[in-house]
Amino acid sequence: MEPGLRFSSINRLDHLGADSEPSVVTDLGEYLYETSDYIFQQTATALSLPIHYDGSEGPLQARLFKESEKTRKNMGLVDRENTGFVPKLEQPRIMTESLVAEELSKIVKNLEEYASNICGCLTQDRDMGESHEQRGKTFRKIFATLLLIELPGEIRRFIEEGVCDADLPLMKSDETGQSARTFSLYRKTAPGVRMKCFEGWKRSTLEQFEKYQWKLVSPFFSRGEDDNTMHWLFQDEVILPFTHQEYAHSGAHGKDFKVKIHPEHHGFHENKEFRMLRRLSHAHLISLLATYQYGGHFHLIFPWAECDLRTYWETKNPNPPHDIDTLLWMARQCEGIAEGLDRIHHHETSSMSSIILDFSDGDLMRSPWTPMTPSLMNPGPGRRSSVAKPRASRIVFGRHGDIKPTNLLWFPDPTDSNGKGTIKICDFGAGEFSTDASSPSSSDSISHTPPYRPPESDLPDFTVTNSYDVWTLGCLYFEFITWFMGGFNLVEDFKTHRGTLQAVRVEPMPSSRY
């Protein structure tokens, strides 16, 4: 990975079931950013480096626009226009106290004295444990927004009223009054309370401020303090911190997008990934990094895989060598897949933070218990998280429901000189979980990939248990061995020779079923 996550897979679902309530982030990840060990180290390093902006590239405004454009130019713009954002560490690197003072001196005499207020006390020797209040207010994002709309002299009014970076993004209110439609901006913590700093502003200017503030507050993704998966709630105006985005494909349960997250806007770095895999107790289950709600859709963030297992057989290694290394690798992967599947069938958990419970909603994985109340990250001005009380561990019994080569992902291993990599189970869209080990599921909840359906699935009133996964796992093993014996061509020949006219439910249809 590059300094962290190289690419992520974003799976977009049409809606989120009402029962799924992981820990919720309402502040765009600012608290997670401020308390991130990795980001603290990066900030200290960045502030210790020579300043790369000395004014020779033009005014601060031009530099801010330039940095914003850098993040925009490689975007695929799949869903909505991305106007670009200014990365988190670039903001203090561009807007140093001396350069801010120089900019202020061009506007009004003695205004440069506000530079220290604007930049605050962000230094490389600050304590990690300091809260936002202990470090003092900063107005750097406010001043940057004012620069972008060409009103830097207004910063004095914001400082005097105490409207600081922690108040961003300001919320808009666009309502019809007695005589005309009004547009106002409010603090999140004081909705409806007008701010004096905006008195006398035209509506068009207010709208510009509201628009450009989002360039300075692109969210930060990370796992929670206990490595639990977090869920972000985003306004439609949020500019996601993606520097590359492309449509991948559609599946039965959503659409997949390949994105690159700016390294200053996520905490999914290699030490985190190792802890996540250890926390999930198995390296053959895909790691859910985070979820977010945006633009009327529910999104899941996963590490980006090179390809699925079938594509690996077809394009990455169509003619495997018949040597002991390949045989042992295949055996280890088969063992790991079985262990990962067993982890799904019998999963011990004490919170909503596991991959299984992260998916436990009314439409993806139905669960008979009521989820715990989410812990809100920084709901108020104190910017603190309320920590959920510990709960007793429980065993969750589940099934995957759709084991097949296209639902297993191949991840290359940079430490493996043979380049064989790791195979992980993914696509839990057909799965279900319950606290009752003997609880069967209706066959209607299964996608029934024809070649992998067990014989009993044709019986009347067929119900699904985790033995369904055992049959499909056996089918997968059969194909895996076929690939080893004769490569991808033999896998295809095997499929052709299995083809018979069989009854599937009611209507006869050609089938390559086992």
pLDDT tens sequence across 416-465: 767 799 999 986 554 455 545 555 554 454 555 677 778 777 777 777 77
Residue among 151, 424, 484 nearest 288 (CA)? 424
Stretch 148-171: mean pLDDT, rounded?
A: 94
Report yes or no: 309 and 406 within 8 Å, Cβ to Cβ.
Answer: yes
Token code pair at residue 403: 């084991």
Domain definitions of the chain by residue range: 1-28+220-303, 30-216, 305-369+392-514
Whether pLDDT at 364 is above 70: no
pLDDT tens sequence across 309-348: 999 999 999 999 999 999 999 999 999 999 988 888 776 6
Q: Show the CA angle centred on residue 56, arms to residues 51 and 62, nearest 5°.
A: 95
pLDDT tens sequence across 241-279: 988 887 776 665 567 788 888 989 888 764 444 443 344
Q: Please provide the average confidence, as pLDDT, over all residues in the chain.
A: 73
> Could you say which architecture CATH assigns to the domain 305-369+392-514?
Orthogonal Bundle (1.10)
Higher pLDDT, 128 or 203: 203
Report yes or no: 13 and 300 within 8 Å, Cβ to Cβ.
Answer: yes
Residue among 161, 138, 158, 265 nearest 209 (CA)? 158
Q: Show the CA angle centred on residue 243, arms to residues 147 and 166, nearest 5°.
A: 45
Whether pLDDT at 468 is above 60: yes
The residue type at 135: R
SS (H, E, C) 293-322: EECCEEEEEEECCCEEHHHHHHHHCCCCCC
pLDDT tens sequence across 87-142: 999 999 899 898 899 888 888 777 778 898 899 854 444 444 444 444 568 999 99
Stretch 84-88: mean pLDDT, rounded?
A: 93
Does this model's pTM top 0.75? no
Confidence at 38, pLDDT banded by 50, 70, 90: low
CA distance 135 to 449: 57
Report yes or no: 284 and 340 within 8 Å, Cβ to Cβ.
Answer: yes
pLDDT computed for residue 145 by the predictor: 97
Tally: H helices and E strands in the chain? 15, 20
The residue type at 41: Q
pLDDT tens sequence across 6-22: 455 566 654 444 334 45
pLDDT computed for residue 339 by the predictor: 92
